[in-house]
Amino acid sequence: MRSTLLSLALVLTLGVVLPSCSSTDPEGNGTVKMEATLTNNNVTSSVVKGSDRVEGFTVSVTIDRVRVLISRMKFKRSSDDTTGGRDVKTGPAVITFENDTVTVVLNEPIPEGTYDRVKLEKHKFSSSEAQQFANSPVFGEFAVPDRVTIIIDGSYSDGTTTEDFTIRDDGTENVWIDFPTPLNVSAGATAEIEFVFDAQQVFKQNGIILNPFNDKDRRDIFKLLHKAFRLQNKRK
């Protein structure tokens, strides 16, 4: 069984990942608790094509864990917000989406107000940062031997054999994610939200499973990453 990296909640106690948000005024703050979950981690299809797929068998990809390096997370205030405050920024961080596990991404004071979007700045480390974090239990795999921004662990089955895989990519992008309804943060209260990674959005295209061992499919997987992220209200 693959070992699990420290959750972001634990890293916070080490003072390595999330510095305080841009507003340090203790008054007028609420708390935002964000939890990361992995959904549709078992992606299957009976539609097959290509020489690397076995006709007549169900092809499947099972995702065990997705880790994303972000240099900064930005909570953007709604245009209807009347508090006059600034957008809230935190980072860097490794966000972990893991099967059957809920990971605390954020549990921090946030200035009260209304927020409608979150921006993820998925940028790789600079050369100097890579050296700094090379031995970190959380950041190390994103620093050496290559500077990468995402690591996905899982297994692929062509209907006859199943093989584990780990794929990495160094692609950088800014991903904007809308809240389904504006997030209202009230002073002294806690707003709970879920940050979801939907594996089916990444590993299934036009009804066909993308093979992480195939170079072209792997490029398509990373092109589809932005579709996998969504925010939703915490289920009660």
pLDDT value, residue 48: 59
pLDDT value, residue 50: 55
Residue 86 forms part of a structural domain: yes
Residue 208 forms part of a structural domain: yes
Predicted confidence band of residue 9 (pLDDT cuts 50, 70, 90):
very low
Residue 73 forms part of a structural domain: yes
Residue 2 forms part of a structural domain: no
3-state helix, strand, coil in the chain (%, to 5): 15, 45, 40
- Taking CA atoms, 124 is separated from 37, 171, 194, 226, 231, in Å, by 23, 8, 24, 16, 23
* Whether the Cβ atoms of residue 63 and residue 39 lie closer than 8 Å to each other: no
pLDDT tens for 76-95 read 999 888 887 888 888 789 99
Q: Residues 55-74: what's their mean pLDDT?
A: 89
Predicted confidence band of residue 134 (pLDDT cuts 50, 70, 90):
very high
Residue 3 forms part of a structural domain: no
Number of domains in the chain: 1
- Residue 201 parent element (H or E): helix 200-203
Residue 1 forms part of a structural domain: no
pTM (2 d.p.):
0.82
Cis peptide preceding 92, ω within 30 of 0: yes
Domain region containing 211: 8-19+28-233
Residue 177 forms part of a structural domain: yes
